[in-house]
Amino acid sequence: MRKNLITVILVFVCSFSLIFVAGCAKKEVVKSEVELTQAQPSAEETAQQAQAKKEADLREQALKEQALKEKTLAEAAAFQDIHFSFDNYDLKPEARVLLGELADWLLEHGGFEVTIEGHCDSRGTAVYNLALGERRADVAKAYLVNLGVANTQITTISYGEELPADPRNCEEAWIKNRRDHFIVFPNKQ
């Protein structure tokens, strides 16, 4: 009977040990699974990270494009006025050179347009000077179109004597005021 009692006790201890060991091992597996799920981002977190990276890349690209646009606009602002003789709208040789540079730039930068402003000095009537300013702007436009610039990239306007570069009433000021002025800007597309 003592042998049976020892056997029962041994079976009980072994069973209890087996249950205890199996229970501990199970907890470790659960703990490992929890650690794995915590270490790996969920699909939602991965998608959010990808979206954040995409947005950062787009911001960086937009900043680069803005810097290029500002540089291009600075180049465009550097185009000099062309000047005309008194009561005349014929292009001088130096005006043709400047228009050639503008045409080359516009052909290279097709996303830009130019407005040509025709100006006159204060001599003559307001109506006459508006017409002369228009002829000056039109001759510059025709020259640019002849060099290959699209007609749709160019607009003209005449201010006559209304917006002088130099408001004085002397020969030096009149020479400055007989001009075409160019405003280059990105097209609306």
For the chain, what are the domain ranges? 42-78, 81-186
Q: How confident is the model at residue 174 (pLDDT cuts 50, 70, 90)?
A: very high
Instruction: Kindly report whether the global pTM for this prediction surpasses the value 0.85.
Output: no
pLDDT for the residue numbered 76: 54
Among 36-40, 54-58, 135-139, name the one with the lowest average pLDDT.
Answer: 36-40
Residue 167 φ/ψ, nearest 5 degrees: -75, -5
Sequence-separated (6 or more) residues with CB below 8 Å from residue 177: 119, 120, 121, 122, 161, 164, 165, 166
CATH T-level topology, domain 81-186: 60s Ribosomal Protein L30; Chain: A; (3.30.1330)
Section 105-114 average pLDDT: 94
Distance CA 82, CA 91 (A): 8
Which is more confidently placed, 29 or 184? 184
The CA distance from 32 to 16, in Å, is 24
* DSSP H/E element including 114: strand 112-119
d(CA 174, CA 13): 117
